[in-house]
Each structure stands twice: as C-alpha cells, then as structure tokens.
Chains A and B, each alone.
Chain A
C-alpha cells in the first residue's frame, strides 16, 4: 500500500481511502443486521398504522389517519397513557430514592475509619444479596409475585399481615393500589442494581472531600445532600435512563399479575399491554400499530432526555 513514489496528495488520498474503508467495514455488518431485523419491520409497522390490517391476510386496506382520530376518544388508550407516564416518573423516582439511601448506608454510613469513609458493618454482604432479584427472569418474578400478592389470607404478604394482626389487603384488586403493587415488583427487582451502580459513584468520590466536610462538623444528612448527591448526579441520570427503558418491560408483569390483564377497571393497563391486546386479541393490527406510533412519539421525548445526558458527559471531558 505504501509502495511507489506517492506524493503527499496521494498519501493523503490513500489515508482518506483507508479511513473510509475502515469506517465502512466497521459499520456494514451492524447496519445490515439492524436495518434488516429492526428498521424494516418497524417501517412496515408505521405503514400498517395507516391501514385496517387484521393481521392475517396480505391485503391491508389504506385508511389514512382514521386510526389516529379514533385514538383521540379511546378511554382505555388514555388510561394506558396516564399509567405509562406515571410509570416513567414514579418508578424511577422510588427506585433511585431507595437505592440512594441504601448505597449511602453501605458506603458512607459507617462514618470515617482510618481516614476513609466506610459503609456500615456487613455492607459487602448486603450489596451481594440486594442484587439477587436482578438475575431472575421477569417470567419467574411474575409467577412468584402472583403467590405473594394473592388477595386472601393465602397470599404470602397477607399471611404476614395477618400475623401482625392487620386485615388482608387486596394488593392487585384494589383499583387505587393495583398499579402501585405492580410498580413495587419492579422496584423490588431493580433496587439492588442501582445500589451497586450508585455505590460505584460514591466510592469514586475522593475521601478527603468527606474529611473536610466532617471537620466542618457536617452531619450525615448534610454529607448526603450537599456532597454525595451533587457529586454522583451524573450516575443518577444514567440510572434514570436505564429505568425509563425498563418501564417498557412492565407489561409482562401486568399481563401475569393484574386482574383480567390490565384491570380492575383499567387500573393497571399500560400502553404496551393495550397494543398487545389490540393486535393479538382483537386482531386489529392497524389500530395497534397506530397506538405504537403514538407511543413512539411519546417516548421521543424520553429519548431526547437520554441524549441530553450523553451530551453532558461530553462536555465534562
């Protein structure tokens, strides 16, 4: 390649060719895989949203935006949108709050020892155990919590409550409680992961920062709110993005756990579930795809947030 009498221009040209050759060779396989298996089905789904396709034959009838106008006064759809929004907000918030609390205890809760902030006694053990639920498949977790949330005294949770003397709770049949119960499962599963994630962030904070603060007589709460929190803010944002993506997977849990798949009275229905039902139970793939497109634009907002997080990281560099 380098042979010959190539002048500067030729060499540059050669370098440029090599660069583009390299870019091409690195992008071609991932792009082909992605376009064939992801983009092309998605593109078809976008087209299907403009048809009244029933999912069986190959002759969808084009009906323009009719599906979208019908969405506007579909009560169930809007209930699902509200719940999805709640999931995107509350679920990450609760998970992050609990995980922050525990990771603070596990990393800094023991005070300073030998010039280094330490966690409470046994923190290593807790960190390992808390991660357990994360390695369980969603299918397993769903089936498991069926038994835990069972609404009469045979449910594990109600069994415990009875022991304490509290009357049984209809975890999944109380319309005000059902969605929160399902959210509880997601939180239960995710906390351990974020404890590890935030622990990492906290252990990266130089210990003399804490020393200096401790010298100033800062209590644990001030240590947490005015030092720890701001310093691991970026990690928290990354966590928020992960959790937002995880909110999409909730529908498997809703499907297994909730009354009548999304009930009672639409109390637990989420968008992916409605899309699933519309497509696979009602065989209305056109309408279901329209919901999917709506969800797509809804989450574009979320994607924008994700992008902002990454831009931040670049600035810091």
Chain B
C-alpha cells in the first residue's frame, strides 16, 4: 500500500496533521463509545452461546431456578451422555454433512449451468424460463409439502437421502439461478469471445473460462446454500419419516429432543444436545472463516 501512495497525498497528510490533532479529542470520545458498542454486541452474540454450554452442566432445578446467570454447582457430563445416546447427534450430523455436501455441489453445478445459459444466450423462451425459476422464490415451501410428498414417493425416493438431495437441489435453484444470472451478466464478454474464436466449445468455455471467472460469486452463493440447506427443517420431516430415524438430519434431531425435553423435563440434556450441534459448526466456521469472508466479499460487491 505504501508503494502506491502518491507524493501528493504524503504532502497533504503532513499539512493535515494539525487539523487532525484538533479532531483528536472528539475522536477519543467517539473511539471509546464505539468500542463500548462493539463489546456490547460481542457479549450479546457470545453470551447466549456460552450460556448454552453452561446450562448443559446444570441440573433441572438450576436451569428453571431463580438464578439463570449462576454457574453450575458441579460440572457433570451426564447430560451430554444422555443427549449423545438419545439424540444420536453424531449420526445426524454425519447424515446432514453428507446430504448438504452432495446437494450443494449439484445445486451449484446445475444452478450455474442454467444461470449461465439464461444470462448469456439469446433464445426463444429465455425470459419465460428465467421467470419460472424466480417465481419459485415467492411461494411458501410447506404448501407444496403434501403434493411434493406424492412426487417423491412415486419416484420411490421417500425415506431416502437421494430423495432429500434431489428436493434440496430443486428448491435451492430459484435463489441460485436468480443471483448467478445477475452475476454472469456482470462478467466481461471479451475473454469468452476470444476463447470461442480459438475454437473452444460452448461447454469448454463455460467450465474452463467462465466458471473460474465467476468463482467469487459461486463461493458466496455456495455459502448461502450450505447455510440454507443445513437449516432446513420442514422438508426432512416430510421426506424422512419417523420410521427411518437412522437417516434423520440434525434439525429433526434437535426438534425431537426439544419436544422430548418438554415431555420429560430434561433441560440439561436439551442444552447438551444444542451444544453438540453448535460446536462442530463453530469449529468449521472458525477454520474456514477467512475463505467464507473473502468469498462473501467478492461475491457481494459485484
């Protein structure tokens, strides 16, 4: 950065020091206030998550008791054992990773293929297909639940992960196509044209030229899809029934243990299960936070 700094700016800066000093007092107050605001929000964000971990070690009377902020009297892992055994969090987590991984991959592949064609090729029906995709954004998913169940069932895919994956892909397409179409439109034409001149096929141009160019946009939509599909709750309930508990996804597991906690009043077990669902996500996020942030950055600014 230093290298790009022009002399003019350097000169200007020197003469500017005086006025900056004048501003310093107000800046001090401003700085202090802004730090207070930032720290308060940090507490707001971290507090509830920490509280969940703590609550998992508490006893029932401690959680329902009068001192919600107190530390647990003794640290017991019993509730974690119960939650692990009953809630099968580990199993559901693996199932979810598999389903979301595969479906995000194919969502991105199919979504970008469709978006690319819709963004950069003129043909009859282009607009119609585009609006068909976009209209999918404005209808509540669960109204389609019962008819959807039939469709999946008649294909013999009910209670299978493949069924869930196909449905996830289909329901992620409107959003993916909508944003990637906009994104592909912003990419310059020249490179693709040059490649075509050199005799590259349409397909090759797409995979070898356009996809790498669209990488930032692809990454940010990928993140969206992962978050969205990871959080899906309604679709798995309908598509993976109670008779295939071993295929359940994480949100089903959490909802289940929440209801069970309601009937059996096992709050520590509930919070232990929540912690088990939270921790892996946080770890994954912290490991990949740089990529996620830069992905979002590049995708969003365009």
What residues of chain A have their CB less than 8 Å away from a CB belonging to chain B?
18-20, 22-23, 25-27, 29-31, 33-34, 36-42, 44-45, 48, 55, 98, 101-102, 105-106, 109, 111, 114-116, 120-122, 126-140, 143-145, 147-148, 150, 153-156, 158-160, 163, 188, 191-193, 196-197, 199-201, 203-204, 208, 211, 214-215, 217, 219-220, 235, 238, 242, 245, 248-249, 252, 256, 271-272, 275-276, 279, 285, 288-289, 292, 295-296, 299-300, 302-303, 306-307, 310, 313-314, 317
How far apart sit A29 and B121, CA to CA, in the bound complex (Å)? Answer: 17
A200 touches B296 (CB 8 A): yes
Docked pose: A189 CA to B116 CA in angstroms: 32
Asked if residues B64 and A154 are in contact (CB atoms below 8 Å), the reply is: yes
Tell me if B192 counts as interface (CB < 8 A to partner A).
no
Other 16 A-B pairs with CB < 8 A, given A132-B46, A193-B296, A288-B143: A26-B206, A27-B114, A29-B113, A31-B114, A40-B147, A111-B20, A114-B2, A115-B10, A133-B49, A136-B281, A138-B251, A144-B49, A154-B64, A197-B300, A219-B26, A289-B143
Distance (whole angstroms) from the CB of B99 to the closest CB of chain A: 14
Chain B residues whose C-beta falls within 8 Å of the C-beta of A134 in the assembled complex: 227
Q: Which residue of B lies closest to A317 (CB)?
A: B186
Shortest CB-to-CB span from A268 to chain B, Å, is 17
Which has the most chain B C-beta neighbours within 10 Å: A143, A208, A211, A249?
A: A143
* Band of interface residues on B: 35 or more
Bound-state CA distance A215–B12 (Å) is 8
Q: Is the CB of B297 within 8 A of A137?
A: no
Cβ B9 vs Cβ A313 within 8 A: no
Interface of chain B: mostly helix, strand, loop or mixed: helix
* Separation of A126 and B254 alpha carbons in the complex (Å): 29
- Pairwise interchain contact B143-A279, C-beta atoms closer than 8 A: yes
Q: What are 23 residue pairs bridging A and B, where the CB atoms are less than 8 Å apart in the complex?
A: A20-B123, A27-B129, A31-B129, A33-B170, A41-B151, A42-B143, A45-B143, A98-B41, A106-B38, A111-B20, A128-B289, A139-B233, A140-B274, A143-B254, A144-B48, A144-B49, A148-B51, A154-B66, A192-B45, A200-B301, A211-B12, A285-B146, A292-B140
| Complex CA–CA separation, A25 to B110 (angstroms) | 11
For residue B302, give the distance in angstroms from its CB to the closest CB of chain A: 8
* Closest CB in chain A relative to B247 CB, distance in Å: 18
Smallest beta-carbon distance B88→chain A, Å: 15
Cβ of B35 and Cβ of A275 under 8 Å apart?
no
A111 to B145 Cα, complex, angstroms: 53
**Which of B116, B138, B258 makes the CB contact (< 8 A) with A26?**
B116
Say whether B69 faces chain A, with CB atoms less than 8 Å apart.
yes
CB-CB under 8 A from A295, the residues of chain B are 138-140
The distance in angstroms between the C-alpha atoms of A111 and B23, with both chains bound, is 11
A279 touches B9 (CB 8 A): no
User: Using Cβ atoms and an 8 Å threshold, which residues of chain B touch A48?
Assistant: 147
Per CB-CB distance, the 7 closest pairs between chain A and chain B, nearest first, are A200-B297, A41-B144, A37-B170, A41-B147, A22-B202, A299-B138, A159-B68
A-B contact count (CB 8 A): 290
Contact present for A137 and B139 (CB under 8 Å): no
Nearest CB of chain A from residue B295's CB, rounded to whole Å: 10
Pick from B10, B178, B206, B251: contact of A137, CB under 8 Å? B251
Q: Please name all residues of chain A whose beta carbon is closer than 8 Å to the beta carbon of B296 when the two chains form the complex.
A: 193, 196-197, 200
Which of A137, A279, A307 has a CB less than 8 Å from the CB of B254? A137
Q: Is B64 within 8 A of A156, CB to CB?
A: no
Residue of A nearest to B152 (CB): A37
State in angstroms the CA–CA spacing of A296 and B9 once bound together.
54
Determine whether B255 belongs to the interface, using a CB cutoff of 8 Å to chain A. Answer: yes
